[in-house]
Structure 1
Amino acid sequence: MLRILYQQTDAPSELQRIANRTSHDVALTQEAAVKEIVTAVKNSGDRALVDFTAKFDRQTLTPEKLRVSAAELDAAYQQIDRPLLEAIQLASRQIEAFHRQRVPKSWVQFGQNDVVLGKRYTAVDRAGLYVPGGRAAYPSTVLMNAIPAKVAGVPKIVMVTPPGPDLKINPAVLVAAQEAGIEEIYRVGGAQAIAALAYGTETIPAVDVITGPGNIFVTLAKKMVYGRVGIDSLAGPSEVLVIADNSANPTHVAADLLAQAEHDPLAAAILLTPDQEFAEQVQAAVAQQLENHPRQELTEKAIAHYGLVVVVDSLEKAAELSNLFAPEHLELEVAEPWELLPLIRHAGAIFLGHSTPEAVGDYLAGPNHTLPTAGAARYASALGVETFMKHSSIIQYSAKALQNVASAVQTLAEAEGLPSHGDSVRLRTQKGQSLDP
């Protein structure tokens, strides 16, 4: 049952407990195994991928079958129905339109005293996208990772995803990949897939950036290869926090909480409300909607362990507690959400009003659904085109401009004990020295 906390003074400790649900101790117990996997792939390439696929996925794979064939890609379109194809295409258009507005622009500023400064943005050469399998198929994850990379201008994008029975890949996932412009797809998952993207194998090319969520093995592997490659984040289980007053519909709020809980037994679903009667109505609605739920066992575990309702003194207190938790998804189900919004400082994505369930953000509103979890919204942001880009500073000084700052540069170089730094300026600016070629 969804638990109600009537004393808001107990809320900070309970929110911290939920934030810490992906225990560091649990991660430590897996690190040795993940390190072994990463090292094996680094050293043995395709052979290790074949062996780990047999061990973990119980599938017989050969290096020749790693890459999804063109015939399989074509056949995927025949294996999904028209409404699903149209939904994927609509989501693709919406996501691309949003991310095209977010492409950073290079700039150059011609300042005074002949100094030119600027910033030049360029995409990485190669991006690798991890799309999880297992409990469900995630065509939306394909779109959310692939489209920003395409919009950023990444020339080579490859995708990895765990194989299902008979090495099959869900056709909706294959269609979503093609709609996003990806046709280089490999049937491999887990930590071994991350290692393959980071170091390359005989078949899978090494990349520069790896994005996409996964289980604890995937997350730890991303952590281990970071530095050799860039990563988007170390994603944890999904979470939603709803701030609601009695203008909200308790049945709708209950559905929104369950929409997160059904992801994973570790998913968190939290409601903060100043109305005790409303809290109890939501509790009852959650119980009712859990009856005969298709993912009942999994969802009940999440609700029992990481579901929580806190009755607070005010919406202002709710905002304070929300900022403390820094949720991945935040719903403002209140009468005046725009008035509450200025109090919100930390959230991955914010959904305003009674007609904006978090599910629209998951699928096709446009903003990315790959968001910071486990409190990372305090310092991190959603995946976007910037994830696949880096910038270079542009600096040009004329002879006159260098002369104007020569003394200051030499003084700083002397203070740091770096004489050649100072000489590199002094030799260019001393009398009798020609500054321009």
Structure 2
Amino acid sequence: MFGRVREWSRHHEKLANALWASPLALFCVLSAFASRGAGTSDGGAVPGLGGYLGLTALLLLPLLWRHRPVLSFAAIALVSFGQWLAGLAPMPANLAVLVALYAVAYRCRFRWAMAACLVAELGVAMVMINWDDPGLGLFFSSSIFVVTIWLSGLYASTRRRYLESLEERAERAERERDQQARMAAAAERARIARELHDVVAHNVSVMVVQADGAGYALDTDVEQARTAVKAISATGRAALAEMRRLLGVLRKTEDDSQEAEPGKAASERAGAADYYPQPGLAQLDELVATFAVPATLRVSGDPARLPEGQQLAVYRIVQEALTNVLKHGGPGASATVEIDVSGGDVQVRVTDDGRGAAASHAGGGHGLIGMRERAGMYGGAVSAGPRRGGGFEVVARLPLAREAA
């Protein structure tokens, strides 16, 4: 609510200033009608009703420009000085000096605030000169009141700057977090693209070998040639599907390339020239057996139905989930990996009995981003969170690739 009021005040400064000064203006008008007629007081002459209202307006109008505190304070001080030269007694509208003093202390640098405080103290002293018998007590009490207003403005200014620095720091941290997330997603897509490139290259190599075999057997063994041609067709469809995914990943990576660090992007491009065999579900046994966290693997259905690219995505998701167990599960944690390929989709569930919600996730890791990128490439999704009763759970569901279905 206060944020909305502050935002409204920024767009309607003069109206906000008028509302701010309206209680003082109402008090001054009521005082004018209460003291009808001209006369004198201990502090000087009292003007008539017309002069009283006119002087009140001259003292209060500069408050409409309170967002320019130095000019507003200077104008009110000059009107007050003219009032003193004319020998007129102080009136409630002279409190506008204190309002303007608070605005200077709140909005301006310390040297301007100090100068305004000295001018206000000088005004107090000048009023005491025109007073018949002011006494030191009245002077000191008036001075303490002025200094209190000034200190209140300084305190409010310090708190405002502190809150603005906190807001700026929070916005900067949010921007850095979003930038790091985009960089991590771009790096993960580049890695996925390299791995899919290897899968496609392997499929094309298989097609070339099968085509050569079909060519040799065409005249001697027609059945063998027919089998080779069928294998070429199936492998070609799988390679085409993986190529489409590869192009989709590359488009996303290109869109995010402006957000990545130049040095890191160069290293990713340089790494694209490294070719190595990509793991699949057949290598999960070795992964689980050799991982630093004790883990159990359960596979149901026919994992051989999955194409190589989707097997690679499942392998990387399991690998990253086990890595999270190692980082956050705590000492003595163990994990269970369950993979179900029996239905129309692939379900991967990695659970552990570690610290769960109590684990510290500080350190800037982006494992979940990578898992979601891999699952999203096949139209799937990943959910992760603490389990009831303790531990942590990562669940990924990937629709079965069309070439496998």
Which protein has greater RCO, CA pairs closer than 8 Å, 6+ apart? 1
Higher share in strand: 1
Could you tell me the TM-score, scaled by structure 2's length? Answer: 0.22
Larger Rg computed on CA atoms: 2
TM-score (norm 1): 0.21
Which structure has more helix as a fraction of its residues? 2
